[in-house]
Each structure stands twice: as C-alpha cells, then as structure tokens.
Amino acid sequence: MKLGTLENGTRDGMLVVVSRDLRRAVRARPIVSTMQDAIENWAEVEPSLRALYDALNAGTAPDAFDFDPAAAMAPLPRAYQWCDGSAFLNHGRLMEKAFGIAPVPDFETVPLMYQGASDDFLGPRADVPLPSEAHGIDFEGEFAILVDDVPMGCTAEQASGHIKLLLQVNDVSLRAFAPAEMKRGFGFLQAKPSSSFAPVAVTPDELGAAWRDGRVHLPLHVRWNGEWFGHPHGGEMNFSFHQLIAHAALTRRLRAGTVIGSGTVSNADPSAGSACIAERRALETLAHGKPLSGFMRFGDTVHMEALDADGHSVFGAIDQKVVSARS
C-alpha cells in the first residue's frame, strides 16, 4: 500500500491512498483524515485503507484523481519524533580516514543516533530555503521507517512488527556547523535544518523481496544538477532498522508517528558513487590529497529516487532546489 499527503491549507494536510504506479490517488476520508491519525490507529484503519488501495489499482475506486507529486507534502508533514541513525558504517569510516576524525567508541556495535527537527518536514518538490551558502549545504540520501507505539525495552527481534511504513529522505545538512556541534557533545542542532521526504510512504510488503532483514535492498539513485552522483544500495546497511528501533527504545517508549532514519546510504565499492557531497569529498581527499567538490549553491538541484528491479519508482522522486531564505 502507498500513502501520501496533499496540501489542503492545514499543517497536516490531507491523507490520500496512491496507486502502485504513482499515477492515481483517492482521499482516505472517511476512513481517516491524516497520516498521524492513521499511524495511531493502524490496526483499525489499515484493512479499510488496503481495500481502497486494491480498488484504486483495479480502477474501481470512486472519485479517484491524478496524483500530483508537486502538490504533495511530506507523507507525515510533522512528527512527534525524528531519530536519525548512521547505520552505514562505510560512511563513517571514510570520514574518519579522510579527515582525521577520531574513531567513535563502540562504532561497530552501538548505532550512532541523534534527535533531529521533526516539526517542519518538507515535501518532495518544495524548495529548500537556507540562510547562507557559506554553511556548507549538503544533501544526504536515506531510507526511513514510520512506527506505531513501541514499548520501552523493545528488542530487535520484537521490532519488526512495529514498522508500518517505509520512506525515503533527503536529510539536508550544513557541514560548516557539524564539527563544532559534535565537539560540544550535545549533538546536532544548527547543522540539521528541515529534512525532505519522497511523495509516498509504502508498506513493507510493497517491496517484496527487497524488504528483508530490516533493510531496504534497493539502490538509491542521486543526481546533483542533473548529473549522476551515485546509486548506493540500501542492502549494505550494517545496523538494521530493527536494531535502530531497539537502540532508540532502550530507555523510552516511542510514540506512534516516530520516524527513524538510516543515515546516509553508503557502499564500500566506490563505483556506486555517493548519496552526499561530504562522502564524495572524503573519497577525493583520499585519492588526491584534498577535496575537489564544493558544496551546494543557491539554485542547485538534487534528485533522489529508489527504483525496483523493474526500474519502477517505489517512493516517487525527491526533486528540489536550494534557495536563499533571505530572498
């Protein structure tokens, strides 16, 4: 099943069921009005939403209309919690090696995770307004999950039943702030502005065999200003989403609507390219002694899209422009 949220003049938008080919949609009302309502009452509303999805794909859903990604908000426009991991260890190893960063204790056994801003998620076609090019504007291609209520102490073995929807994310980063904020020891704040999401969230069964072991086994295709940047594969995720849930829930319960990110998708094979500029700069430093690529400038665009084995878009595409917040 695929679900999206369309602009309707409210902060939480209008929940819609979207066809498998991303071409048609139908309002989820009267079953449920918003994504947050759906995730909080998933057991009650999921069967009716799925029946509507089946009818939409069969061409029999009444009042169906063309789905316009440009009118889409983030599937969950604002969340109670956004926990972002760094589950692809290759990314961290490259940063350490290229830039002389001290190794993180327990790097290979304890997931890295921070709490980011979740009150202002951006839609897939929304401009990304930022204050200055001097802040080191970067994109980061990730996958993410949306969970129902997770009890404190949930184990990785128990976690799979709490994953209701999968998402794809551009976790926008400002690299000029990150080193100083990490040294202060309180985590990211200014380095992590609003994240952006692909048009639809999908139930894990939509991926078929590409969803297994708590990982999205799909390549994430990234283009910067229309040029190929990378197609790293999500299957190389070292910590599974099950493990990320267990890590986040060790000392707290996670309320329905919590979003957990994978961190930058990163592969050991350099031919896969990268999903963020910082990683390309690390590879350039290792190869040439210094980074050759700059960060994003106002007017730059980024395109991200996960494709299945048949070349079909799974979540729809993120296609955005970075703009000055002062203009």
Summarised one tens digit per residue, pLDDT across range 72-123 is 999 999 999 999 999 999 998 998 888 777 787 888 899 999 999 999 999 9
Mark whether 167 and 145 lie in a shared domain: yes
Q: Which amino acid is at 260?
A: I
Is 318 part of any domain? Answer: yes
Mark whether 153 and 287 lie in a shared domain: yes
User: Does position 130 have pLDDT exceeding 70, yes or no?
Assistant: yes
Mark whether 60 and 94 lie in a shared domain: no
**Rg, C-alpha atoms of the chain:** 19
Mark whether 276 and 210 lie in a shared domain: yes
Tokens of 181: 């904020």
Mark whether 24 and 167 lie in a shared domain: no
Is 77 part of any domain? Answer: no
Find the mean pLDDT for residues 302-324.
97
The domain boundary, picked from 71, 100, 117, lies at: 71
Tokens of 10: 């409210």
Q: Report whether 221 contacts 306 (CB < 8 A).
A: yes
Mean pLDDT of the residues in the chain: 96
pLDDT of residue 95: 85
pLDDT of residue 327: 61
Mark whether 116 and 228 lie in a shared domain: yes
Query: How sure is the predictor about 168, in pLDDT bands with cuts at 50, 70 and 90?
Result: very high
Find the mean pLDDT for residues 2-19.
98
Find the mean pLDDT for residues 120-134.
98
Mark whether 202 and 309 lie in a shared domain: yes
pLDDT of residue 100: 79
Is 140 part of any domain? Answer: yes
Contacts of 189 (CB under 8 A, 6+ apart): 181
Is 248 part of any domain? Answer: yes
pLDDT of residue 99: 78
Mark whether 175 and 271 lie in a shared domain: yes
Residue 273 gets the label, from left (phi > 0), alpha (psi -120 to 50) or beta, of left
Q: What is the CATH number of the domain that holds 269?
A: 3.90.850.10
Mark whether 25 and 137 lie in a shared domain: no
Which of 47-51, 97-101, 126-130, 277-281 comes out lowest in average pLDDT?
97-101
Range of the domain at 198: 82-324
Q: How many domains does the chain have?
A: 2
pLDDT of residue 186: 82
Mark whether 201 and 264 lie in a shared domain: yes
In the chain, the N- to C-terminal Cα span, in Å, equals 39
Mark whether 260 and 142 lie in a shared domain: yes
